[in-house]
Amino acid sequence: MSIVTYKRGDKTALTKNFTRDEFECQCKKCDAQMIDLELVDKLQSIRDVLGVKLKVTSGYRCITHNAKVHGSSHSKHLYGFAADWRTLDRVVNPVALGIIAQAVGFGGIGIYWHSEAAMCHADTRAGKATWLCTSPGVYPSTTYNSFILPTIRQGSVGAANRSAIILLQKLLKIKEDGNFGPATTQALLSAQKQNGLVADGICGPASWKKLSGADKYLAKL
């Protein structure tokens, strides 16, 4: 990690597409700011691959603002290690963003896709922490999986699997109820056939990458 400290309003370039002010605390009041250059470099790599602008919705957070937005007392945003972001025009869904974030080596990754947010959290922690958020304030962990999204199939249960099922249903554009029943199986089978995947009704890494659209960007990394 390489932390840069600066004052609010500093528009100095960090990379070819990101400037310091993009990572400022959203409170609009605190003066001292900080950001990890490793974080920005990785986001630049993603921006290069996607070929579209990224919008940082939350970078550094001061203690006061972090508390206001109900951030964890150990949030990586407090130290400039984290950013919440999405494509500026929302052309790439959060599932694809999370998959790509894992591919470029972020330690902490959260996929958020619900009524209040559609974005990816990424941070440069040394360890691994991955989670899915399909309901405000609920963050079931997928840290125990090698891939950010669990492999799911008809009958899959549990908090993380339920969130994953909702994400899959969003991608398939079917009813989002978190239940992997016959209707979801049929929709998945159809999508797998249409996309040249093994039509087995099981959504594993290959299906996640293809159905989210992440695969076409991963090939460029």
CATH code, 214: 1.10.101.10
Q: Domain count for the chain, please give it.
A: 2
Do residues 172 and 86 both lie within one domain?
no
pLDDT digits (tens, 9 = 90+) for 8-65: 999 999 999 999 999 999 999 999 999 999 999 999 999 999 999 999 999 999 999 9
Residue span of the structural domain in which 18 resides: 1-91
Kindly state whether residue 15 falls inside one of the protein's structural domains: yes
Kindly state whether residue 104 falls inside one of the protein's structural domains: no
Do residues 149 and 216 both lie within one domain?
yes
Do residues 117 and 218 both lie within one domain?
yes
The answer to whether 147 and 208 are in contact (CB under 8 A) is yes
pLDDT digits (tens, 9 = 90+) for 149-161: 999 999 999 999 9
Do residues 74 and 20 both lie within one domain?
yes
Do residues 214 and 170 both lie within one domain?
yes
E runs forming strands in the chain: 3-7, 32-36, 54-58, 82-87, 108-114, 117-123, 129-133
Cα 10 from Cα 24, distance rounded (Å): 9
Q: What CA–CA distances, in Å, run from 10 to 1, 23, 31, 123? A: 21, 10, 10, 22
**pLDDT value, residue 105:** 98
pTM as predicted = 0.97
